[in-house]
Homo-oligomer: A and B are copies of this chain.
Amino acid sequence: MTANSVCIDTAAFLANLQELRQIGAYKTGVHRPTYSPDDMQSRHWLMARMAECGLEPSIDGIGNVYGRHPGPGPHLLVGSHIETQNHAGWLDGALGVMAGIALARAGLPVDVVAFADEEGHFEGGFLGSRSIIGQLDDAEIDRSRNRTTGQPLHEALAAAGLAGLPRMQLEPGRHKGFFELHIEQGTQLEGQGLRAGVVSGIVAIWQFKIRFEGMQDHAGGTTMAERRDAGLSAVRLLAAIDQEFPRHIGERTVWTCGRITLEPGAPSIIPGVAEVLFQFRDIEMEVLERLHAVLVRLVQESNRRERCHATLTQMSRATPAICDPAMMRCVEQAAEAHAPGQWQVMPSGAGHDAQYMARVMPAVMLFTPSIGGISHHWAEDTAAADLALCCEILGDAAQKFLAV
């Protein structure tokens, strides 16, 4: 460590994380869905922690919790989210928020933020980070419902005591950059024995629905030649994607079929309708566009060959978020100082609040290793030494970047 290192109280940082872990505890993880009583308790607990380290806490009409640094700038923004997926891990999100508190406690001029519903319990997703940069309109709030229970977002906000509160907006020009510490949610770091990942950018997810329309028929009375089996057409297209995609991908492209639904789904009925959820992710727009063209071509080819018509609908078409090179350099230098040779630059395959912050200011992320790559599950964990190390790297990187 250099003489000018920021002094992070890693004991307090880890103690804060353990304390937050008690709210909505589930096995070794936590269950704090957005706007649930436990989630709201954790938001008020966070406001108290902000006040303790000299920040001015507030909560807004979408549930964002914000701790404003009262002193002079230049300021940084540091944070993530504190609600969790159902029965999920104690670190995902909470880690980045408590790292912000640790930096504030160390005296750095940071505002700390916990964005609401990064996890997307409600339709739309990323409600807090989109709201605070002015990219969430009232009409979407009016429409949005809980994806599990169907509860309207407005009802949930009212039940959480947030009805009528204004939605805060970031003060233009206030922040020199945004830092987000997060668990990797994969095994790249662990697999190579590394202790930190400097994130180069956040992949964009392009999500599609492919619907095949065939003819529902009796599986005994209908000959193979007469059939219009929607499930079979879906299997053939997915097999073609499996064959063709590897010829067109980038270095870290991933593609996933997460759901196949055959209707009516009975053993002795030829499926009349098949629906497939398919997505791909990459950090380069050019790769995303190339894969989209391949997918469109494969669906056209399916429609030329098959008896069941396939309709391709694009559900989302995001833009990859590139991390700021100057901020990355600061994080790289800090990582090399604290963990020489034990870090790497890597893209984030998952979405994060940082991708929205990157639209309005320079942004960067730092990843801690995930034990066994486990994520969105109560068994999620990271070694305490790695948590402490990455918080120190983040503090040093913040200090370096303030000095640039």
Q: Are B238 and A373 in contact (CB under 8 A)?
A: no
Q: 8 Å CB contacts to B: which residues of A327-369?
A: 348-351
Give the interface segment out of A7-15, A59-67, A102-110, A261-269.
Answer: A261-269
Number of copies: 2
For residue A229, which residues in chain B have a CB less than 8 angstroms away from its CB?
256
Q: Are A224 and B254 in contact (CB under 8 A)?
A: yes
Residue of B nearest to A185 (CB): B221
Which one of B186, B226, B242, B262 contacts A218 once the chains associate, using CB atoms below 8 Å?
Answer: B186
For residue A188, which residues in chain B have a CB less than 8 angstroms away from its CB?
223
Q: Are A258 and B205 in contact (CB under 8 A)?
A: no
**Is A236's beta carbon under 8 Å from chain B?**
yes
Residue of B nearest to A252 (CB): B223
For residue A269, which residues in chain B have a CB less than 8 angstroms away from its CB?
258, 376
Rounded to whole angstroms, the CA-CA distance of A298 and B236 in the bound complex is: 17
**Is A151's beta carbon under 8 Å from chain B?**
no
Which one of B257, B258, B262 contacts A259 once the chains associate, using CB atoms below 8 Å?
Answer: B262
Which one of B220, B255, B259, B265 contacts A205 once the chains associate, using CB atoms below 8 Å?
Answer: B220
For residue A262, which residues in chain B have a CB less than 8 angstroms away from its CB?
257-260
Q: 8 Å CB contacts to B: which residues of A64-80?
A: none
Q: Are A260 and B258 in contact (CB under 8 A)?
A: no
Query: Smallest distance from the beta carbon of A353 to chain B beta carbons, Å?
Result: 14
Q: Are A258 and B373 in contact (CB under 8 A)?
A: no
Query: Smallest distance from the beta carbon of A376 to chain B beta carbons, Å?
Result: 6
**Is A232's beta carbon under 8 Å from chain B?**
yes
Rounded to whole angstroms, the CA-CA distance of A218 and B242 in the bound complex is: 19
Rounded to whole angstroms, the CA-CA distance of A222 and B370 in the bound complex is: 12
13 A-B residue pairs with Cβ-Cβ distance under 8 Å, sorted by A, are A186-B218, A187-B226, A218-B375, A222-B254, A222-B373, A224-B255, A232-B242, A235-B242, A238-B239, A239-B239, A258-B262, A258-B269, A259-B267
- Which residues of A line the B interface, CB within 8 A? 184-188, 203, 205, 207, 217-224, 226, 229, 231-232, 235-236, 238-239, 242, 252-260, 262, 265-271, 277, 279, 281, 348-351, 370, 373, 375-376
Given contact pairs A221-B370, A267-B279, enumerate 7 new A-B contacts (beta carbons under 8 Å). A184-B221, A186-B220, A231-B257, A258-B269, A258-B270, A259-B267, A260-B260
